[in-house]
Structure 1
C-alpha cells in the first residue's frame, strides 16, 4: 500500500497554508483537490481584505488567529513579492446612534491586541475622505488588501520547494482508520488509495460532508453548516475613496462595504443572503437594497454605477453555548479518530488567518504524532 506522512484535502488558501507549514517542518505532504485548479472556492470569492482583528469575540480563535495571521501575512507578502497594500479602513457611524457601537468595537479590538485604532469625528474623517457622509468613524490603519491568487501561488511554491505535492481533479471519496493512521480513497481520472498518518480536512464548504465520509467520525461532532451567500457589485466609475469603507456590521456579515482592488477599482459587498444550495449568480434585483446601504456613507452613488459582479458563500456553523460562531479546529482529542484534523467554519477572517491556522494544525499534528510514537515505544 502506498503511504504518505500527511494528506491535506482542499487546495484553497487554508489548505495550501497548512500543507506549506507541514512541508517546511520536514513532513511528507500531498494535497488533493477536487477541482482542476487551486483556490476555486471560498478563496477566490471574497473581498481579498487583510483584516486587523477588530470584530471577533476576545479569546476566540478568530480573534487570536486573525491578529497573528495578519502580522504573518504582511511579512509573507513582503518576503515573497505578493502584491498587497496596507490601505487602512474607516468603519463609519452614519448617525449619532451608531457612535456607541464604534466605541464598543474599538474596545473589543484593543482587547484582541489591535492597538492602532483611532476614533475620528466627522471633520477628521472627511479630511481623509472628503466624499464620505459620516457622523464619526473608527480608523483601522492596519487593514489592507492582498492578491489572493498570488498569495496561494506563493504558498504552493513554498510547499513544492519543500517536497510537497499537489494532485488536482482528485476528489476525496472516503477514509477509514488503519494501523498508524488512515486509508484514504480518491476518485477522478486517476483514482488512488493511500495510507497517511495525518489527514487534514481543509475542504471549506465541503468540510462537514468530508468528515462524514471518514469511518468512525462521530456524527454528532460534525457541525450543522448553513450557507451565507454574499453578493458583490462592481462600480462602473472610479470611486472617490482611498480607504476601505465599512458601515456598522449587520447580522451574518460586516455590512455592505466598499473595498478596492490593487488597481484602485471599487466593489461593494457582500450583502447577506441565506441560501440552501450553492448558486453563484448575482441577482441584479439586489442592487436596490445595496444602494440604500451604500448611500448611508456615499449619497452620490447612482443605480447605473453598480453592475452585478460575483458572489461567494460563507460556511456558517453555530457558536458554542450561545457565543458567536468561531473557527473549529478539531483533533483526535475531541472526536477520537487518530490522525484526523477537521477545520470547520473557516469563513472570514480565514484568508487573513491562514498562516496562523496552519501553525495550529502543524502543532496539533506534531503533538499527535509524538503521542503515537510514545505509545508505540511503551508497548
Structure 2
C-alpha cells in the first residue's frame, strides 16, 4: 500500500539501511526514522572498527553467514557508486601455536562452505609475504576483506531517505509503543506521538528495552560489553598492512585482540571485551546504577560469569594495564611494543544473552503483529546492513505472515 507510514526506531546503520530499502522498493511509502540522539550513527555504528567482513566465522546456513556474504557485495557496490572509502586490504587469521592449527583448518572449511571469496590457507613462510612483520605457524588469507567508514555510509543512507521524501527525526527518545486494534502503532516520546502503520525496531544497545515497550517479551536481554582500543604510533603503523586476527577460541565468546588498519591510515589494536557498567558506558567511569542493578538481577549474567570468570579477569587486567593488553597482541606482531601504542577509543557491543547464560550468536529478528524487532545484531551487522534491510523489508511487507 503506497500510502503507508513506516516507523523505524534507531538511526544506526541497520535502521537507516532499512529505511533506505523501503524507499527504493516501495515508492510513495512514508518513512520516518526516529533517533534519540542529535545525529545519526552515534553508538555502535559510530564506534565500529570499519571492517567489512567476508564471512569466515559464521555457521553455514545461519542468517549471519547468508547475509554477510550478500551484504559485503552490496556495501562494496554502494561505496563505489557514492565514492565512499572502501579498501580491500585483506585479512590474515593467524595460528601461533600447533594447538591452534586444527581450529584454523576447521575455520578454513567453514569459510569455504560460506563462499568467502579468494580465501586460502597459507603456510608459515607465506605469512611474511602478506604481512612482513607478522609471525605464526599457519594462517588463512582473506584478500577481499575490506575496511570502510560506516559512519559515512550511515549518513549517506540518511540522505537517501530524505531525498526520497522520508524523514530522519532526531532528538526523539522513545518512551512508549502502543499497538492499536486497527493494526497501527503509536510511538511516543514524552508528549510527542507518531502513528505509523508498521514499526521496525533497530535500537541496538536499547533493543531489548524498546522491544519490551512493544510487548515483544523480556528476552534475550542486552548485556553491554565495552571494547577498548589502542592506537599504534605513526612510526610503527606501517608494520601492519591490513588486518591481523587470532584464531577464535571456542571457549571464549569474542574474537580476541587483533590489529586493524583504518581508512584514515591509523592502525588500532583491539578490542578487548569487558563488562560495561552502563549501556552507553564508553569509559570505565561510566556507571548507571539503575542499569547495573538490572543487569545484576538477570540470572543469565551470573551464568555467563561462572563460565568465563577467568577470561573476564584477564580482560580487566588488560583494560587497566597497557603492558598486559599488548602482551597478547605482540604474539602476532612482535615489533609493536607497549611503548608504541596509546589508548584509543572504545565501543560498546550490544550482546544478547539468554537466561541460561548462553550468548545469542545469530541475528535475531522477531515479528509481533505490525512490529518487527531486531533483537540481536552484533558483528557483522554493519557489513550485512543492506542485506539485513532486504530481509527485514521482505518480512515487514509479507502480509500473509502478519499476526
Give the structure-1-normalised TM-score.
Answer: 0.90
Counterpart check, 1:152 vs 2:154: yes
Give distance in 2, aligned partners of 1:228 and 1:289: 19
Shift of 1:290: 2.0
State the number of aligned residues: 359
2:363 corresponds to which residue?
327
> 1: CA distance between counterparts of 2:163 and 2:392?
20
Q: For the aligned residues, what is the CA RMSD?
A: 2.1
Greater mean deviation of Cα atoms: 137-146 or 228-237:
228-237
Unmatched runs of 5 consecutive residues or more in structure 1: 333-337
CA gap 1:195/1:263 in 2 versus in 1, 3 angstroms: closer
Superposed counterparts of 1:320-359, under 5 Å: 325-332=361-368, 338-359=369-390
Deviation of the 1:263 alpha carbon? 2.8
Question: Would the aligned equivalents of 1:4 and 1:30 in 2 still touch at CA under 8 Å?
Answer: no
Q: Shift of the alpha carbon at 1:4?
A: 6.0
Instruction: Tell me, yes or no, if the aligned pair for 2:360 and 2:376 is still in contact at 8 Å.
Output: no
Question: Any residues of structure 2 matched to 1:110-121 within 5 Å, and which?
Answer: 110-121=112-123
Once the two structures are superposed, the pairs formed by residues 1-379 of structure 1 within 5 Å of their partners are 5-25=5-25, 26=27, 27-178=29-180, 179-187=182-190, 191-214=191-214, 217-220=215-218, 222-237=219-234, 238-239=236-237, 240-250=239-249, 251-278=252-279, 279-281=281-283, 285-318=320-353, 325-332=361-368, 338-368=369-399
Cα separation, 2, equivalents of 1:153 and 1:252? 31
- Tell me the secondary structure at the aligned position of residue 377 of structure 2: coil
- Please report how far the alpha carbon of residue 324 of structure 1 lies from its aligned counterpart in structure 2 after TM superposition: 5.8
Query: Contact 1:4–1:195 (CA<8 Å) still a contact in 2?
Result: no
Q: Distance in 2 between matches of 1:305 and 1:41?
A: 28
Q: Describe the SS at the equivalent of 2:197.
A: strand
Cα separation, partners in 2 of 1:184 and 1:48, compared to 1, 3 Å: same
Tell whether the 8 Å contact from 2:232 to 2:341 is kept in structure 1 after alignment. yes
Give, in angstroms, the shift of residue 115 of structure 1: 4.2
- Are the structure 2 counterparts of residues 18 and 244 from structure 1 closer, same or farther at C-alpha, using a change threshold of 3 Å? same
- In the TM superposition, residue 218 of structure 1 has moved relative to its aligned partner by 4.6
Contact 1:230–1:269 (8 Å) recurs in 2: yes
Q: 1: distance between equivalents of 2:364 and 2:75?
A: 21
Deviation at 1:102, TM superposition (A): 1.1
Instruction: Evaluate the alpha carbon distance shift between residue 213 and residue 323 of structure 1 in structure 2; reply closer, same or farther with a 3 A threshold.
Output: closer
Cα distance in 2 between the residues matched to 1:300 and 1:320: 43
Distance 2:331 2:243 in 1: 15
**Which stretch has the larger CA shift, 8-17 or 88-97?**
88-97
- Quote how far apart the aligned CAs of 1:192 are: 2.3
User: In terms of mean alpha carbon deviation, does 147-156 or 27-36 score higher?
Assistant: 147-156
